[in-house]
Amino acid sequence: METIQTDLCIIGAGSGGLSVAAGAAQMGARTVLIESGEMGGDCLNSGCVPSKALIAAAARAHAMRSGAAFGITPAEPQVDFAAVQDHVARVIATIAPVDSQDRFEGLGVRVIRDHARFTAPDRVAAGAFQITARRFVIATGSRPVIPQIPGLADLPFLTNETLFALRECPSHLIVLGGGPIGMEMAQAHRRLGARVTVIEAGRALGRDDPELVAPLLARLRAEGVEILEDTPVTAFTGKDGLIRAVLKDGRGIEGSHLLVATGRAPVLAGLGLEAAEVEHTARGVTVGRNLRSVSNRRVYAVGDAAGPGGGGLQFTHVAGYHAGLVIRQALFGLPARATTRHIPRATYTDPGLASIGPTEAEARMIHGSALEVLRVSFDENDRAQTMLATDGLLKLLVVKGRPVGVAILGPQAGELIGLWALAIAGRMKLSTLAGTVLPYPTLGEVSKRAAGAYFSPRLFANPWVKRVVGLVQRWLP
């Protein structure tokens, strides 16, 4: 067995692990990266990239059906589902070289394609190699959680890891779980020709503001997606091609395919964390806000592998953010602490749903009477009018002239939230945003209008302002 001594050993070549590896190697640290699966991790191979490629194809199909209001004769698209999946595969293949072993070896990273297992607090075994390192980073990501529902384990269900291998469009797709993944894939498959039923035990998109979720669900239902909320499933029966979900009220929903989208759990099994003296739970490695293991200071965890101390948000961009914090500490010895107040989240339905910070209900518990809530509808935006995409709302939460939270329902919501991520991260005042000049007409003006709405009553409804203006006009030469 070959022994390797290195500065940094990273387990997992997903977003977080690749970011740490690239930064460390390029700044002169001896770096080993271990990955037993595909380079690029879940995001590239079975998550963000393929799902958004499928959503893009579905949007083209929907556009063909919905042109009447623009004077375009609607036409029913002829969907070649296998060709759609070929498109998805091409997108993955196009991006893959950026995450490839060849690229990272070119950056100076020693890449080992095998399973990693700690054998001591300062040592990892991987295939024919034994690696000792000054610092370790656990970046193993997460996998779908499969609920313990009777009969489910006996069925050929789908998860995001297998969904994109389908070559024929499901005739009736049952989606178990009404979170972002479930709702995105429900709408996409409906637009590509499938009948779709979403079954959610609680509230669909329960993490998001109900005021914005309600019109989104109405839109999905209008497109033909059946959404059952507060509807637990008590059992599954059936076989390949005929799956039956038995609901708590006794009803049965039958479909051709079942997609399980009920959340994700960190991948920690088989890592030998006990040998490493690394404390962990089902929610991830037990870390402090510095992402460092509370029980083994040599070890950091990033992304989905980090427990609640890292913020508990399972997003690719969070893993990238965590990577920067680890590099700051492990390479430069500088302090760093993770926070979630500036982390945006987006659901890529149509219309999109994006937010940053607390919901209104959460913000009221934190800030009480100091909270101000401003709302701007997309029907007040000229660009949205030209697109006939006016069913949207921007909801701005403000405390003492600074934004503390934003939720957006509307076209390109995931793009529009970026301005607010900058504002909250930079602790900007709304006066800065209100004074920004944006090109006309753009959807971005919704954000500027919301910032301006904070000042409107302070200027236009203030009698002192009118008196000052009157005096100035009287004496102004």
pLDDT tens by residue, the chain, 477 residues: 799 999 999 999 999 999 999 999 999 999 999 999 999 999 999 999 999 999 999 999 999 999 999 999 999 999 999 999 999 999 999 999 999 999 999 999 999 999 999 999 999 999 999 999 999 999 999 999 999 999 999 999 999 999 999 999 999 999 999 999 999 999 999 999 999 999 999 999 999 999 999 999 999 999 999 999 999 999 999 999 999 999 999 999 999 999 999 999 999 999 999 999 999 999 999 999 999 999 999 999 999 999 999 999 999 999 999 999 999 999 999 999 999 999 999 999 999 999 999 999 999 999 999 999 999 999 999 999 999 999 999 999 999 999 999 999 999 999 999 999 999 999 999 999 999 999 999 999 999 999 999 987 776 666 766 676 667 777 777
The answer for residues whose C-beta is within 8 angstroms of residue 387's C-beta and 6 or more apart is 411
All domains in the chain, ordered by first residue: 2-39+100-144+265-332 (3.50.50.60), 152-262 (3.50.50.60), 344-460 (3.30.390.30)
Q: Which residues are annotated as a binding site for NAD(+)?
A: 177-184, 200, 263
Q: Which residues pair with 137 in a beta bridge?
A: 10, 300
Q: How crowded is residue 476: how many other Cβ atoms within 10 Å of its Cβ?
A: 6
pLDDT of 462: 66
pTM: 0.95
Cβ contact 199:275 at 8 Å: no
What CA–CA distance (Å, rounded) separates 467 from 203?
51
Cβ distance 253 to 199 under 8 Å?
yes
The 10 Å CB-count burial string (b at 16+, else e) for 331-361 is beeeebebeeebbbbbbbbbbbbbbbbbbbe
Q: What is the pLDDT of residue 464?
A: 66
Task: Give the position of tokens 């930064």.
Answer: 23
Q: How many CB atoms within 10 Å of residue 429?
A: 17
CA distance 169 to 81: 6
Give tens-digit pLDDT for 43-98: 999 999 999 999 999 999 999 999 999 999 999 999 999 999 999 999 999 999 99
pLDDT tens string 291-304: 999 999 999 999 99
**SS3 of the chain:** CEEEEEEEEEECCCHHHHHHHHHHHHCCCCEEEECCCCCCHHHHHHCHHHHHHHHHHHHHHHHHHCCHHHCCCCCCCCCCHHHHHHHHHHHHHHHHHHHCHHHHHHCCCEEECCCEEEEECCEEEECCEEEEEEEEEECCCEEECCCCCCCHHHCCCECHHHHCCCCCCCCEEEEECCCHHHHHHHHHHHHCCCEEEEECCCCCCCCCCHHHHHHHHHHHHHCCCEEECCCCEEEEEEECCEEEEEECCCCEEEECEEEECCCEEECCCCCCCCCCCCCEECCEECECCCCEECCCCCEEECHHHECHHHCCCCCHHHHHHHHHHHHHHHHHCCCCCCCCCCCEEEECCCCEEEEECCCHHHHHHHHHHHEEEEEEEHHHCHHHHHHCCCCCEEEEEEECCEEEEEEEEECCHHHHHHHHHHHHHCCCCHHHHHCCCCCCCCCCHHHHHHHHHHHHHHHHCCHHHHHHHHHHHHHCC
Contact between residue 300 and residue 325 where contact means Cβ atoms under 8 Å apart = no
Binding-site residues, please?
A: 52, 140-142, 177-184, 200, 263, 304
Q: What is the pLDDT of residue 465?
A: 62
Closest by CA to 185, choosing from 134, 260, 243, is 260
Binding annotation for FAD: 52, 140-142, 304
pLDDT tens digits for 369-419?
A: 999 999 999 999 999 999 999 999 999 999 999 999 999 999 999 999 999
